[in-house]
Structures are given as C-alpha cells and as structure tokens.
C-alpha cells in the first residue's frame, strides 16, 4: 500500500479508507465486510468535478461542447482503467474467489470503479485540494494528448473537419476486407477523398477500422508539420494524386 500511495501521490491518514476502496463487492460478500460501492459513488462525482475544474483552468479557449467531449474522454472506463494499471491498483484489489478466477483483476469495469473509490477515499481523507493534486499528477499528460488529437479520440471527425476546411470533395469510407471467424472478425477500411485513397486501417469492428484509417491519415498529413495545417494537408493530397488503388 505504501508503494501505491507513492504512485498515487498521497499518503492516507486513515488506511482503512484506502483498503475499503480496494474491496470489490464479491470479496465483501464472502468476508462480511464493507465494499467500495459507496466510495465509488462519491468518487465518481468528485472525479467529474475535479476534472472539470482542471479543464476549466487549463483550456480556457475551448467551447463548452469541446470541454464536455474532453471530460467524457478523460473519465471514461478505459481511461480510468489505464490509470489504475499504471499506478498498480490491480495488484491490491480484494476480489471474491470466483471474480478473481475469471480475470476480474484485469477487467476495465472493476479497475475503473476501484479508481473512483480511491478518489472518493482520498477526498474524505484529505479534501478537495488533495484530489486536485492527484488529478493533475495522473491526468495532465493524458489530457494534453487527448486535446492534441483535435477530436479527443474521434479521428473521423478530426479528419472531416480538416478536409472540409480546405476541400469540397466528399469523404467516403469503404470496408475492403473482413477476415476471421464471427467472434474474432477483423475489418479493414479505406478512407477516400474524391478519387484518392488517403489511408487504411484495421479493427475489430467497422467503426474501429474507420477510426484507425482516419488516425493513420492524420498522422501522415502531420508527419512533416507540428500541426494539421492547410499546407501540410495540400502537400499530402498532392502526394496521393498519382497513387493508384
């Protein structure tokens, strides 16, 4: 727990609060103890408030809609599970025997709930400033990366906005292959601009494949520039004109 507190950036006065935040309902049921569900309820609200405050302070030029999108991408289940793994929370989870045997320690939903519970515990133990410090330490770089994608993970929207600012040609996504059995199918998509193929990507769903194709296209466009500029876009489109599908 001391190592976890170091990674979290906060040392608890009440260690029982921290231990409770690790206690999944399956363990609580088997051992007649308190689960982390109430702390999770509190932490969910505290996390949203502190992330909102961080975004308000550090991204004053974003619109309300963009701030909402950025917050949603930050506090979503995969994001919180990623942070949980980074700080070693999975190692401290208290799970029931059945939950542990079926891979619960690596399940995103359990990890994100436990992280919210830990935030709730930190709020009760150290107050709002304590949580704000934790949020800045654990999320600052990740939020910056999200913001830099310009679509906060929605690469199709980012690509569409970029192209439509500089061209009136249509953007079309085509699924060019489906491979594997139904339960493990992989899709490959191409993104077209007019008569040119701009990029290709693969994923476990058609939507994921289209997002990957958009992401790769954006990466190619900005490969010679620090930004998705009109000049970088036009240079990329010129390179694609003579390419045959």
* Residue ranges covered by each domain of the chain: 2-148, 155-241
Q: Is the pLDDT of residue 243 over 70?
A: no
Q: What kind of architecture, by CATH, is found in domain 2-148?
A: Orthogonal Bundle (1.10)
Give the Cα separation of 25 and 42 in Å (integer).
16
Predicted TM-score of the model (pTM): 0.63
Q: What is the pLDDT confidence band of residue 245, given thresholds at 50, 70 and 90?
A: very low
**Cβ proximity of 68 and 56 under 8 Å:** no
- What is the distance between the alpha carbons of residues 72 and 79, in angstroms, rounded to a whole number? 10
| Least confident interval from 86-90, 149-153, 161-165 | 149-153
Residues 109-144: tens digit of each pLDDT: 999 999 999 999 999 999 999 999 999 999 988 888
CB atoms closer than 10 angstroms to residue 220: 15
Q: Among all residues, which ones are annotated catalytic?
A: 44, 116
In this predicted structure, the answer to whether residue 24 has a pLDDT above a threshold of 80 is: yes
Over 60: is that where the pLDDT of 153 sits? no
Distances (CA, A) of 212 to 41, 120, 133, 159, 224: 34, 35, 34, 11, 20
What's residue 114's pLDDT? 96
Give residue 148's pLDDT.
65
Classify 155-241 by CATH class.
alpha beta
Residue 20 has pLDDT above 70, yes or no: yes
pLDDT score at 97: 94
Dump pLDDT digits (tens) for 70-89.
Answer: 898 889 888 899 999 999 99
| Percent share of the chain, pLDDT over 70 | 87
Q: What is the pLDDT of residue 12?
A: 96
What is residue 178's three-state secondary structure? strand
Q: How open is the CA angle 4-57-60, to the nearest 5 degrees?
A: 140
Mean of the per-residue pLDDT values for the chain? 85
For residue 63, the model assigns a pLDDT of: 79
pLDDT (average), residues 4-11 = 92
């Amino acid at each position: 727990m001391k190592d976890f507190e170091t990674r979290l950036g906060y040392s608890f006065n009440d260690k029982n609060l921290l231990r409770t935040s690790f206690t999944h309902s399956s363990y609580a049921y088997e051992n007649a103890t308190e689960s982390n569900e109430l702390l999770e309820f509190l932490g969910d609200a505290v996390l949203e408030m502190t992330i909102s405050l961080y975004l308000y302070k550090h991204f004053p030029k974003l619109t309300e809609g963009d701030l909402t999108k950025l917050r949603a991408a930050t506090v979503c289940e995969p994001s919180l599970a990623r942070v949980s793994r980074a700080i070693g929370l999975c190692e401290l989870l208290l799970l029931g025997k059945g939950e542990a045997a079926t891979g619960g320690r690596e399940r995103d939903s359990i990890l994100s709930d436990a992280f919210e519970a830990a935030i709730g515990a930190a709020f009760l133990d150290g107050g709002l400033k304590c949580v704000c410090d934790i949020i800045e330490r654990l999320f600052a770089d990740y939020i910056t990366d999200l913001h830099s994608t310009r679509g906060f993970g929605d690469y199709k929207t980012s690509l569409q906005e970029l192209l439509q600012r500089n061209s009136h040609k249509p953007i079309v996504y085509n699924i060019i292959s489906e491979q594997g059995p139904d339960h493990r199918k992989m899709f490959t998509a191409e993104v077209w601009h007019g008569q040119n193929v701009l990029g290709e990507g693969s994923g476990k769903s058609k939507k994921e494949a289209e997002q990957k194709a958009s992401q790769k296209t954006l990466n190619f466009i900005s490969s010679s520039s620090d930004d998705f500029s009109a000049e970088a876009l036009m240079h990329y489109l010129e390179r694609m004109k003579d390419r045959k599908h």
